[in-house]
Amino acid sequence: MDKILVTGGLGFIGSHTVVELQNEGYEVVIIDDLSNSSIKVLDGITSITGKKPIFEKLDLKEKSKVEDFFKKHSDIKGVIHFAASKAVGESVKEPLLYYENNISTLVYILKELKKLPEASFIFSSSCTVYGQADELPITENAPIKQAESPYGNTKQMGEEIIRDTCKVTQNLKAIALRYFNPVGAHESAKIGELPIGVPQNLVPFITQTAIGLREQLSIFGDDYPTPDGTCIRDYIHVVDLAKAHVVAFKRLLENNNKSNFETFNLGTGKGSSVLEVVHSFERVSGEKLNYEIVGRREGDIISAYADTTKANNELGWKSQLSLDDAMRSAWKWEQVVRG
C-alpha cells in the first residue's frame, strides 16, 4: 500500500481525489490548514470509503513544519498538491497573498521531495494558462498566454518551477494537470463544493440561487460570437477529474511517464454555454432558475474547451459523466448542505 500525501485534501477537488485514492487502496495522508475548507469533510470522506485518512492540520507556508512533516513521513511515495488560494478576483486585489501561498508552499514541498530517493508529484494547474486560445479545442501545445491575474500567474510560474526542478532532479517525476472547469459533487452527497462567501463559479451560484440563498444569477453577456451568445466552457465532473489524478499518479509510480515533467489537459472535450448549463440544471432539478442577462464582464474569455486526445491516449483516461450528471449531483449536494 503506497503512502501518498494530498495537500488541500479537504478542499473541493482534493476530497474527491482522496476518496478515489482510498478506493484504489492507497494510504492517504492529508495536509490542510482549513483556510478554505471544513474539518467535517474528513467525516464525509470516511463515511464514503469506510477508512479515515491520516490528517494533519498544517499551514504549508510554515517551512519548518513542512520539513518536520517529511521527517515524520519519510516513507511517502509522492504528493498530489492541491493546496492553493484560488479566487481570481481576490488575487488581483491581494497579489502577494497569492504569490506567497501558491508559490512558497510549492517550493517547500519540492525541496523535501528532492531529498527522497524517488518521488512522484502531481500539480493542480489550470486551463487559465492558455488565456483566450487562438485555436479550439485547446491542445497542450497551445501557447501559454500572458496571465490575466496573479492567480493565473501562480499556475504558470508553478509549472515553470516544477519543469526547472525536474530538469536537474532525476529522482523527481512530475505531472501538471490542467483542469478545465470542475463541477458537481460525489453521488453520495457526502462531499461537494463548499464555497465560502459569494461563489466565484457558475454552478454553485446556480444551486445557491435555486435554493434561495442568492436572489438571481447574472449572466454576463449574450452577444458573444457563440451559438446562443453566452460564453463557453468545458465543465468536467469532479469525480472524473479525481479519477484522472489516480491514473496520473500510477503512471509516475510505475515509470510509464515519457519524460520527468509532463502536462495533460483534463476536460470533457465538449464546450457548454452558460445557458446550456442553466438549462441542464433546470432539466435535472425540475426548478425554474431566476436569471437575468446583464452586460459583459471585463476579462471573460469567450470560449475554452479541451482537446483531450493526449489524456485519452497517454493516460488511458476519459471523462465518463455528463453535464446533467454533474448538475444533478451538485443540486443534491446543495440540498444536503442547506438541509
Residues known to be catalytic: 151
Q: Tell the smallest beta-carbon distance from residue 81 to ligand NAD (Å).
A: 7
CA 189 to chain centre: 18
Longest dimension (CA), the chain: 56
Q: Tell the smallest beta-carbon distance from residue 193 to ligand NAD (Å).
A: 7
Query: In this complex, which beta carbon is closest to ligand NAD, that of residue 176 or of residue 275?
Result: 176
CA 132 to chain centre: 19
Interface residue list for ligand NAD (CB under 6 A): 8, 10-14, 31-37, 59-61, 82-86, 101, 105, 124, 126, 179, 181-182, 201
The three-state secondary structure class of 257 is: coil
Query: In this complex, which beta carbon is closest to ligand NAD, that of residue 118 or of residue 187?
Result: 187
Query: In this complex, which beta carbon is closest to ligand NAD, that of residue 52 or of residue 171?
Result: 52
328, with CB counted inside 10 A (0-12, 13-18, 19+), is buried
- Count other C-beta atoms under 10 Å from residue 301's C-beta: 17
Query: In this complex, which beta carbon is closest to ligand NAD, that of residue 82 or of residue 281?
Result: 82
Task: State the residue number with the nearest CB to ligand NAD.
Answer: 11
Q: Tell the smallest beta-carbon distance from residue 192 to ligand NAD (Å).
A: 10
Distance CA 192, CA 208 (A): 13
Distance CA 28, CA 22 (A): 7
Q: Tell the smallest beta-carbon distance from residue 286 to ligand NAD (Å).
A: 26
> Which residue is listed with cell 504558470?
156
